[in-house]
Amino acid sequence: MTALPTQRHGGEPLLRAENLTMRFGGITAVKQVGFSVGPGEIVGLIGPNGAGKTTCFNMLTGFYTPTEGRVFFKGADVTSHKPHAIARLGLIRSFQKTNVMKRLTVFENVLTGHYLEGRQSLLATFFPGERVRRAEREARESAAAVVETMGLARRMNAPAHLLSCGELRLLEVAVALAAKPTLLMLDEPAAGLNSHEALLFGETLKTLIGKVVQSLLIVEHNMELVMGVCDRIVVLNFGQMLAEGEPREILNNPKVAEAYLGKAAA
Amino acid sequence: MTLERNVLLGLGVLAALLPFAVTDQYLLHLAVMALFYAILANSLNLVVGYVGEFSLGHTAFLGTGAYTAALLSVNAGWPMWAAVPAAGLVAALFGLGIGAITLRLQGPYFVIVTLSFAEVLRIIANNWIGVTNGPMGLAGVGQGGIADKRVFFAIVLGLAALTFYLSYRFVYSNAGRAAVAVRENRYVAQSIGVNPFGSAMQAFVLGAFMAGLAGGFYAFYISFVGPEVFRFSFMATIIIMVLMGGKGTLVGPVVGAVIVTLLEEYLRELQELRLSLFGLIVMAIVLFLPNGLMGFIARRREQRGDAPSLSPAIEERTV
């Protein structure tokens, strides 16, 4: 089993994965992976294609039930909880394959993201009182503000299917932010962005920490973005933990270079 | 949102004025049936248009409501004002039970299982002679002596107003947005904290309740209920209305109900050819107006409005 990382921030980490293993039939996609995300941290999860990053994401957020191992969020065991139940605790994720509600407008997408804040009884749905009306107004204002934060104000009322690839990525993050996450998990948020856009995107992400979300966990292939943004990086290879450390340590780690580029000639 | 509300209010006012202009009993009968169908189409639309699953068993709730009202009236002498709400509540209970099973399924599985529930209920109604009187049906429901069709029209208009109010509130609420999120993208819905099953259940039970109200009214209006309320032809009519008007809109089912009611009536002379014509109409709608008449109008508005980047190619691909 992989040793748990030392906590730099002290106290209980926000998210802790212990000994996670996922087997699909005879294939072990992820094997005994353990790491944690502390408050205020941006953690990167990297590795070559097929390393098990997205499988990890799916286990952490309840879309898969791990074959072995446990997931703790805010100190509570959330292993094998339903995805919506985990989301309600404040762990919100995005998806690798861009996932938005294509027929709704940008504003409607983000407004829908405010679901948890606006939950109400059926009676209140049918006979809305002043409280419900105010909540609705606030959700609309907040949705407009989130759209603006992500730099999509110009596209506010455009249907999502008309957005460019980069805009879709931003919208996806906006929908996730609308759900007011404590920990936001992004699966390849910069895929399809050019390097300039990716850098801007990284800057946007940094501004979120402490203000909008407590912590971030990012799966990403764009190394410039990962190295520029993350406080700590976890490297997976063939479903196993290969390394963990600060960006500089990871860059100079020969095992990581080998996993990505192959063995150096002797 | 406000446009849809204003159109509905406008239609409601027009309908309220109708009895003052029309006294012909036959035309009033058509108006009553159109509103009855509008309630049904609206209730089916909550499932098809907002949950996004295609229910072929909606007649289960119409029939349950109709039988509940008929039994309460014939056996216990309940008046209409008590029996119709009871019909809605019983249908809602059935919705809860049937939904608990069917809403765990998606796509074709959902379609088949909902259809089979309606069939099972039809067979029960046909064979449980002690209670339902079998194929003979229950006659003489609510012989309260309401002779003037204008009274029935006022009642069905009230029911329609109630059901459309409830639908409007639901659709434009947080709960309605959650249902749409499940329809559009189940994964995103879950990741923002929506429970897909619970959210679909709300819309499903609400739809069942409204279909039950419509069924209860139908029992009193026709004053006879037989197993044919569970028949698939009823279902087909409601589906055509929802598809023609435009699923996922509130005005659509009303428009569809009015058009189909009139078509059914005035094509009556063509006898069996009528059903073939209906089939052709449905095919034409699916091919050319996949979002129904309301979808078509919305697209025209969009094209004339401020969406310059809307290329026809993209639009076709996504509808």
**HSE toward the beta carbon, residue B181, CA cutoff 13 A:** 33
Q: Which residues of A touch B173 (CB under 8 A)?
A: 120, 125, 128
- Minimum distance, in Å, between the CA of residue B207 and any CA atom of chain A: 14
- Minimum distance, in Å, between the CA of residue B287 and any CA atom of chain A: 19
pLDDT in tens, B153-202: 999 999 999 999 999 999 888 899 999 999 998 889 999 999 999 999 99
User: In whole angstroms, how far apart are CA B75 and each of A217, B60, B69, B85, B133?
Assistant: 65, 22, 10, 17, 12
Say yes or no for a CB contact (<8 Å) between B192 and A120.
no
More confident residue, B101 or B273: B101
> Rounded to an integer, what distance in angstroms lies between the CA atom of residue B102 and that of residue B96?
10
- Minimum distance, in Å, between the CA of residue A206 and any CA atom of chain B: 22
Residue B304: its pLDDT value, please?
A: 66
pLDDT in tens, B61-87: 999 999 999 999 888 888 888 999 999
- Grade residue B121 by pLDDT with cuts at 50, 70 and 90: very high
ipTM, 2 decimals? 0.83
| Best CA proximity match to B187, nearest among A84, A193, A149, A233 | A84
A243: number of Cβ within 10 Å:
18
Q: Which residues of B touch A179 (CB under 8 A)?
A: 191-193
Q: Which residues of A touch B192 (CB under 8 A)?
A: 87, 92, 112-113, 115-116, 175-176, 178-179
Q: Which of B167, B171, B192 to mutate to test the interface with A (most CBs of A within 10 A)?
A: B192
- Grade residue B306 by pLDDT with cuts at 50, 70 and 90: very low
| Best CA proximity match to B102, nearest among B41, B39, B56 | B56
Where does CATH 3.40.50.300 sit in chain A? 1-90+181-266
Say yes or no for a CB contact (<8 Å) between A84 and B178.
no
Element (H, E) at A241: strand A240-245
Instruction: Pick A1-90+181-266's CATH classification: 3.90.1300.10, 3.30.1490.20, 3.40.50.720, 3.40.50.300.
Output: 3.40.50.300
Residue count (chain B): 319
**HSE toward the beta carbon, residue A115, CA cutoff 13 A:** 28
Say yes or no for a CB contact (<8 Å) between A101 and B188.
yes
- Grade residue B203 by pLDDT with cuts at 50, 70 and 90: very high
A42-46 vs A68-73, strand pairing mode: unpaired
pLDDT in tens, A157-201: 898 888 888 888 889 989 999 998 999 999 988 887 888 888 888
Q: Which residues of chain A have pLDDT under 50?
A: 1-9
More confident residue, B94 or B249: B94
- Please check whether residue B174 touches A, CB under 8 A: yes
Average of per-residue pLDDT values in chain B: 85
Q: Determine contact, residues B35/B255, Cβ cutoff 8 Å.
A: no
- Grade residue B308 by pLDDT with cuts at 50, 70 and 90: very low
> Rounded to an integer, what distance in angstroms lies between the CA atom of residue B314 and that of residue B311?
6
For chain A, the distance separating the N- and C-terminal CA atoms, rounded to the nearest angstrom, is 31
Q: Which residues of B touch A88 (CB under 8 A)?
A: 193
Residue B80: its pLDDT value, please?
A: 86
- Grade residue B44 by pLDDT with cuts at 50, 70 and 90: very high
> Rounded to an integer, what distance in angstroms lies between the CA atom of residue A199 and that of residue A195?
6
Q: Which of A84, A114, A116 to mutate to test the interface with B (most CBs of B within 10 A)?
A: A84
